[in-house]
Amino acid sequence: MKKQKNLSVAIAVSIAFLLLYNIASFAHQCEEVRGDVIRLHILANSDSEEDQNLKLQVRDVILTEGQELFDGSVTTENAQEKLKPQLANLEQIAEKVIAEKGFDYGATVMLTYEYFDTRCYQDEVTLPAGKYLALKIVLGEGKGHNWWCVMFPSLCLPAAEKTDSEALEDVFSENEIKTVSRSEKFEVRFKIVEIIEKWKNRNER
């Protein structure tokens, strides 16, 4: 009886160890994904229909006039060098659209590390929760619903020469592609990672 009990305890400990190892391994893969991604994040002034429409108009002009920044040439390695000198110009572009549409508030553009919850992108890619490098555009008070896309790998431009899967393959490792590809078997692990990252984010403030 005692041997059976000890065996049961050993099996339970082994299973717990394997689960913890799997979660730790998955969390590490998620960290690698976050390190390879730049996000474009635009926050509307408010949730009014007018402000939300303006957010999309600013988005369209930013993606058009700043197209060379969204073609995949700006990476996490050179983002500081290539994006920081363009922040003032992007801010002017956004404020020009705002003024032309008859609104009286401004815009703020910054390059920052920002926390995001787990999000599915274009029904194909799941980005794990955590802090990402982001080109953040705040319109007015920035209290409205946001719009975001993946700036690098280059997934923001609908007319991009490469498909989303090709763009991912150029940047992500095989393990990273397995991590972000939508799969029901990863849902629990994504949730666990989100809980951990939320806790870390709260304690860093």
Span 84-100, average pLDDT: 96
Q: Is residue 157 part of a domain?
A: yes
pLDDT of residue 113: 95
Within a domain: 199: yes
106-to-21, 58, 95, 187 alpha-carbon distances in Å? 48, 12, 6, 39
For helices 87-100 and 49-65, give the axis angle rounded to 10 degrees.
130
Structurally, how many domains does the chain consist of? 1
Residue 168 lies in a domain: yes
- Cα–Cα–Cα angle for 8, 2, 18, rounded to 5 degrees: 20
Largest CA distance in the chain: 81
Amino acid letter, 136: K
Q: Specify if 156 maps to a domain.
A: yes
Residue 152: φ, ψ to 5°: -145, 125
Residue 181 domain boundaries: 29-204
Helix (H, G, I), strand (E, B) or coil at 134: strand
pLDDT per residue as tens digits for the range 171-183: 788 888 888 876 6
User: What pTM, to 2 d.p., does this model score?
Assistant: 0.83
- Least confidently predicted of 12-26, 75-89, 110-124: 12-26
Which pLDDT value is given to residue 4? 63
Please report the pLDDT score of residue 14 as a whole number. 63
What is the per-residue pLDDT for 37? Answer: 94
The structure tokens listed for 112 are: 């920052």
Question: Sorting pLDDT into bands at 50, 70 and 90, what band is 142?
Answer: very high
| pLDDT at residue 159 greater than cutoff 50 | no
Q: Output 56 or 26, whichever has higher pLDDT.
A: 56
Whether 53 is covered by a domain: the verdict is yes
Q: Give the model's confidence band at 7: pLDDT under 50 very low, under 70 low, under 90 confident, else very high.
A: low
Best CA proximity match to 167, nearest among 150, 182, 183:
150
Strands 119-121 and 125-127: antiparallel
Q: Token pair 């991604």 is at which residue?
A: 37
- Across-strand partners of 40? 135, 149
Question: How high is the mean pLDDT of the chain?
Answer: 85
Query: Do the domain assignments include residue 172?
Result: yes
Residue 173 CB contacts under 8 Å (≥ 6 apart), including other chains? 32
Contacts for 203 with CB less than 8 Å, ≥ 6 apart: none
Does residue 14 form part of some domain? Answer: no
**Strand residues in 79-124 grouped as ranges (E):** 107-116, 119-121
